[in-house]
Structure 1
């Protein structure tokens, strides 16, 4: 039993008395029993020592992207040929079927990320479907994807008619939708769902991934659609061999030196061409490179070499280090397909001591992130796909792994069996049953949940209590309806260590909260918060009525994470925050009422996350406090820089040395600064900005309301910011010329807004390099005096630019620069001169495929639109919210290649011109929100 005692000393089980030890010994005996069942001779001959896991996550050869896709180029090409086939231009369904672990999702992702798919479709959406086919939930997920792509948020809970809204967002758009892991039992429901998708533009495509045997219903078709089945075959052995070698050993040369080439080839034959099998075995061999013969022996022990996925999952699971076995088991408290962000996972593991920091240089967060990466490499955790990389990266448990842990190991969700003392119980009408000896409990709530279950009063040994919203509530961002608790609720739960009520509507907790002496993770604050000395994480995010924090919070000596994001009425943080010496993460984003920081923040030397720092002139609150925060990482936003009157103070902040800060926002308050408007203030601002030189590895830079008339030297030196990919310059009203941003070779996104003094964009914008090597998206907005954009340099200076937006530049007449890659141009808020001046857009005539004109009150029936005559390749024209437009201008009739004309929300549009009917291209019309035109039709 020595191993068990070692686990306890490492705080893996968090036991405190002999009764706990006995109970947990029984639990671990069950684990050991599962290992030895049916395989005594094999496991007795293999000594699985603690695996030699690479210390840094960068050294892991992750299979999450490259390996799963290896060998599927041919399959990808065949599916692309189906998608772009001209033989059927209506709605297409491509049904990818295959056995468990064959790589259906990976292939769909490969197609989803293909460049041609990105360019051809107006919007791409990825939806992981719920286990029970719920039409309304899937519709909500699709709407959420579309609104995220449009860069605006939508309160899904406010939609009375989600199906009508789906029609509105998809109508007239060529969409690409992936429905991953779909399982339909009812053909009628499937046909109803498909009817909602029929309003897309011709060529819209839906890819479904289905398990073998679940494809009959999904294959049925109706007249307006085409369904094409695609069965995914196993990978060839030679491809599997390359995949496994790359995952486990890096190169074949390394494998030859170790003398394991023939053994690996025999292992490959047993994998039956399944990528998931290769990934899992590769994960084992990566951590146990000296044991491939033992792996082969184990795999051969199964009759006739008939290997299945669950067998491999079991083998992979028991070769994980003990702490990682507990980590993945703990996540089983959540429902299937529940998504976590990395910080949420690490916080839960950390609350129980599941993350042993074995290296002095590692923080809990670093090693916790490394644990996540290992489980991703093993394919136990999977990264959740987001459209165009928007949103924070999420993770979920591999569905096959979930099934194994749920049944083979014995954790039963929604049931009554909980061998590890864990349960996830579905509440129904405020009722649910669970045994009194349960230790870790999550309650899956729906919109009808109103109270805590009475059975909680019998759970005297409960350590974890989580309230989890079901999938539909989560999509709708609804709160759980529990608004109050019994006075003695927590009197019986004295051993509770983790309490998560952040999804509740509860406004006040009972006084019995003080009895939770072991509480570590708590989401709603009582006055007696200071008595919870063991608390590690306090999450009060989006408590919108929270105005103050009780000063006793400064007594939480062990607090590591304080999340106040979205507490919009919070006026200040308590003085004495510097006593919370262990604080690592402080999130005060969207705390709009917060106007200052507590003093002496610089003493929080462990601080890694500081989302905002608000500068004031008071002692202990100046920008100098940032000097000692050497561990800051991620995003940092510094506000009220007009309060920095001495550039030497800005220099002492030592931003340049904070190498782990990847996103930096520098804010001046324009109104406050110009209360005493003079040249000396502008010069001071320039020197302050010069002293705030960002760290060299910065990726995102934002500067707001800087009042100086010149750019700092570090913004004109290509060696300073070699990693920068995004820059936003907003309301820099003093600058008369644009800085030479072309110096930064890796820039992909530039947004310049509110630079009133700029009248011309010329070649100085390109810098000494003479071009933007990587720029993909460029926005000029609210530049009322900008008149022209000209270049004297021949050739294409923007080889990667595909998306250009011009918003409210009313004097801008010409865009005279060459850009053969430009595909999309958006003109917003009164840019009439740009589309009416002859020759203004002639340099884009052969490349531009889509033009959007929106919110333009100057677009009227008599507009000449002469600049559009040069757009000989234009295929799509969208006119939106131009309320002075009564009929389309005659100048648009020269768009001879036009295939799609979309008109939305033009309230006064009364008639369509006759030339549309006789146009050579015969464009397809998509019209919505034009009530007068609809009445005429």
Structure 2
């Protein structure tokens, strides 16, 4: 079956889906066509009309050729699940800027004429289960700026011709489980801004000369279970702003001297089961804004160099089950605004000297089961707006000492949530006098007793939300007004 589209010369966007018997598309002559998309046309053989049907007209071939050359505005082609489409019209390729190929068992359409894509800027290949290698000539994509490949489990190597993609800015390789290595020539991609490697289980290393990627600003490495070490040259990526490494279970260490990353703003380390120690310097003190350390069960301590990160805004430490203490210099982080400590099961104490933490607005202490003492440090957090304490079953008092009036210093506190603290005995003294308090939630604290008249005065304050429940010694209140 063929599709004739006479009279649609002004058409700019054409999408055809699930035409299971369509063999020939007949797009020649659509002079203003910009975006063409085929999905689920499994019998599609060609994007032009069936020439065999027009053998009576010997000028037909010449006319098809002429009309294809008129597709000067054609820019985007997306083809999905069209396994009989083995080639693309040569003249069509010459104007193409975006090509997306998805769900091809044998993506032969890539193999013929790839060198003709001289204007191509965006190439995306997804779920081509039998793609084993890149076609020859792929290095001639000199205009390519974005390349993403995913779901190609038989692909073992990327092409060394990629070194000629001198305009490439984004490279993403995802779910290519058999990928053994990145091509050495990748370090020639001096325009590369973003590199993502995700779900490449057999990838054992990154290029040694990674420091030659001088324009790299974002590096994401995820689910590379054989990756044991990172190249030392990583610390010389002077323009790198974001670095995320997660679910790399064999990773043993990070490069030292990470303070050399003079543009690094965000560092995220997650799900690295064998990471035992972090370098003393995790980033440049003047640039690092966000630091997240999540799911590193063998990590027992955090570096004291953390105190040098004077521009750090957000610090998250989650699911580090063997972490026993926090650095004493944590309180020196004068620019810190949000601190999240979650599921650190062996953490027994919170730093006492928090005098310099004058910018902290949000503090979460969640499921720190052995946390016994908050000392008097919370009283110095004059900018604190939200305090959440949840699942800290060994915590007896929020502010130790009978005469200490620490919570009264929290003039900015707007939201206090206390939940699942089975040994907590008392509410902070003069809690009801906090001038900015708008939300108070207390749940499942079976030993909690209030000071006299505290709850009465809180009810009179008419907070935006006052919710107390499953606390046998306190009146149950559910006021969400």
Could you say whether these structures have the same fold, taking a TM-score greater than 0.5 normalized by the shorter chain as the test? yes
In the alignment, does 2:324 pair up with 1:784? no
Contact 1:899 1:922 in 2 (8 A): no
Residues 52-73 of structure 1 deviation map (CA, whole Å, 9 limit, x = unaligned)? xxxxxxxxxxxxxxxxxxxxxx
Which of 196, 200, 221 aligns to 1:637? It is 196
Residues 643-665 of structure 1 deviation map (CA, whole Å, 9 limit, x = unaligned)? 566x8x832xx211111211112
In the alignment, does 2:362 pair up with 1:802? no
Do the aligned partners of residues 870 and 572 (structure 1) sit closer, same or farther apart at CA in structure 2, a change above 3 Å counting?
farther
- Report 1:126-165 matches (<5 A): none
In the alignment, does 2:308 pair up with 1:751? no
CA distance in 2, matches of 1:926, 1:547: 55
- How far did 1:780 drift? 0.8
The SS at the match of 1:765 is helix
Do the aligned partners of residues 878 and 513 (structure 1) sit closer, same or farther apart at CA in structure 2, a change above 3 Å counting?
farther
Indicate the structure with greater strand content: 2
- How far did 1:825 drift? 0.9
CA distance in 1, matches of 2:423, 2:464: 14
Q: Could you tell me which residue of structure 1 aligns to residue 61 of structure 2?
A: none
Indicate the structure with greater helix content: 1
Q: Could you tell me which residue of structure 2 aligns to residue 900 of structure 1?
A: 438
Residues 302-357 of structure 1 deviation map (CA, whole Å, 9 limit, x = unaligned)? xxxxxxxxxxxxxxxxxxxxxxxxxxxxxxxxxxxxxxxxxxxxxxxxxxxxxxxx
Q: Could you tell me which residue of structure 1 aligns to residue 406 of structure 2?
A: 870
Q: Could you tell me which residue of structure 2 aligns to residue 847 of structure 1?
A: 383
CA distance in 1, matches of 2:341, 2:232: 30
- How far did 1:496 drift? 4.6
Do the aligned partners of residues 740 and 596 (structure 1) sit closer, same or farther apart at CA in structure 2, a change above 3 Å counting?
farther
- How far did 1:539 drift? 4.6
Do the aligned partners of residues 523 and 773 (structure 1) sit closer, same or farther apart at CA in structure 2, a change above 3 Å counting?
same
Do the aligned partners of residues 487 and 787 (structure 1) sit closer, same or farther apart at CA in structure 2, a change above 3 Å counting?
closer
- How far did 1:815 drift? 2.5
Contact 2:256 2:279 in 1 (8 A): no
Which of 462, 473, 477 aligns to 2:10? It is 462
Which of 608, 612, 618 aligns to 2:173? It is 612
In the alignment, does 2:54 pair up with 1:514? no
Unmatched 5+ stretches in structure 1: 1-453, 468-480, 674-684
CA distance in 1, matches of 2:377, 2:281: 24
CA distance in 2, matches of 1:928, 1:487: 63
In the alignment, does 2:124 pair up with 1:575? no
CA distance in 2, matches of 1:924, 1:825: 21
Do the aligned partners of residues 617 and 650 (structure 1) sit closer, same or farther apart at CA in structure 2, a change above 3 Å counting?
farther
The SS at the match of 2:232 is helix
CA distance in 2, matches of 1:933, 1:483: 58
- How far did 1:598 drift? 5.5
Do the aligned partners of residues 809 and 792 (structure 1) sit closer, same or farther apart at CA in structure 2, a change above 3 Å counting?
closer
CA distance in 2, matches of 1:745, 1:826: 25
Contact 2:177 2:201 in 1 (8 A): no
Unmatched 5+ stretches in structure 2: 50-66, 471-475
- Report 1:343-382 matches (<5 A): none
CA distance in 2, matches of 1:866, 1:494: 76
CA distance in 2, matches of 1:570, 1:916: 64
In the alignment, does 2:455 pair up with 1:926? no
Contact 1:805 1:826 in 2 (8 A): yes
In the alignment, does 2:210 pair up with 1:655? yes
The answer to which of 488-497 and 570-579 deviates more is 488-497
- How far did 1:725 drift? 1.0
Do the aligned partners of residues 492 and 736 (structure 1) sit closer, same or farther apart at CA in structure 2, a change above 3 Å counting?
closer
Residues 909-929 of structure 1 deviation map (CA, whole Å, 9 limit, x = unaligned)? 9x9987333239926143799
CA distance in 1, matches of 2:18, 2:429: 61
Contact 1:606 1:631 in 2 (8 A): no
Residues 23-50 of structure 1 deviation map (CA, whole Å, 9 limit, x = unaligned)? xxxxxxxxxxxxxxxxxxxxxxxxxxxx
- How far did 1:578 drift? 4.1
Contact 1:460 1:492 in 2 (8 A): no
Do the aligned partners of residues 808 and 778 (structure 1) sit closer, same or farther apart at CA in structure 2, a change above 3 Å counting?
same
Could you state the TM-score of these two structures normalised by the residue count of structure 1? 0.39
The SS at the match of 2:335 is coil
CA distance in 2, matches of 1:929, 1:552: 65
- How far did 1:774 drift? 1.7
- Report 1:631-780 matches (<5 A): 631-638=190-197, 650-651=207-208, 654-667=209-222, 669-670=224-225, 672=226, 685-686=228-229, 688-693=230-235, 695-704=237-246, 705=248, 707=250, 709-715=252-258, 718=259, 720-732=260-272, 733-741=274-282, 743-761=284-302, 763-766=304-307, 771-780=308-317
- How far did 1:776 drift? 0.9
Residues 871-903 of structure 1 deviation map (CA, whole Å, 9 limit, x = unaligned)? 4315223549x5x58999742565341512254
CA distance in 2, matches of 1:875, 1:599: 55
In the alignment, does 2:350 pair up with 1:814? yes
- Report 1:428-577 matches (<5 A): 457-462=5-10, 464-465=12-13, 484=19, 487=22, 490-491=25-26, 493-496=28-31, 498-500=33-35, 506-508=39-41, 513-515=47-49, 517=68, 518=71, 520-525=75-80, 526=82, 527-533=84-90, 534-535=92-93, 536-540=96-100, 546=103, 548=105, 550-555=107-112, 556-559=114-117, 560-564=120-124, 567=126, 569-571=127-129, 573=131, 575-577=133-135
Contact 2:47 2:88 in 1 (8 A): no
The SS at the match of 2:240 is coil
Could you state the TM-score of these two structures normalised by the residue count of structure 2? 0.70
Residues 182-222 of structure 1 deviation map (CA, whole Å, 9 limit, x = unaligned)? xxxxxxxxxxxxxxxxxxxxxxxxxxxxxxxxxxxxxxxxx
CA distance in 2, matches of 1:601, 1:735: 35
- Report 1:86-97 matches (<5 A): none
Contact 1:701 1:726 in 2 (8 A): yes
- How far did 1:703 drift? 2.8
Do the aligned partners of residues 737 and 840 (structure 1) sit closer, same or farther apart at CA in structure 2, a change above 3 Å counting?
farther
The SS at the match of 2:207 is helix
The SS at the match of 1:741 is coil
CA distance in 2, matches of 1:838, 1:782: 20
Q: How many residues align?
A: 423
Contact 1:711 1:739 in 2 (8 A): no
Q: Could you tell me which residue of structure 2 aligns to residue 837 of structure 1?
A: 373
Do the aligned partners of residues 540 and 907 (structure 1) sit closer, same or farther apart at CA in structure 2, a change above 3 Å counting?
farther
CA distance in 2, matches of 1:663, 1:797: 28
- How far did 1:839 drift? 1.0
Do the aligned partners of residues 622 and 888 (structure 1) sit closer, same or farther apart at CA in structure 2, a change above 3 Å counting?
closer
Do the aligned partners of residues 852 and 598 (structure 1) sit closer, same or farther apart at CA in structure 2, a change above 3 Å counting?
same
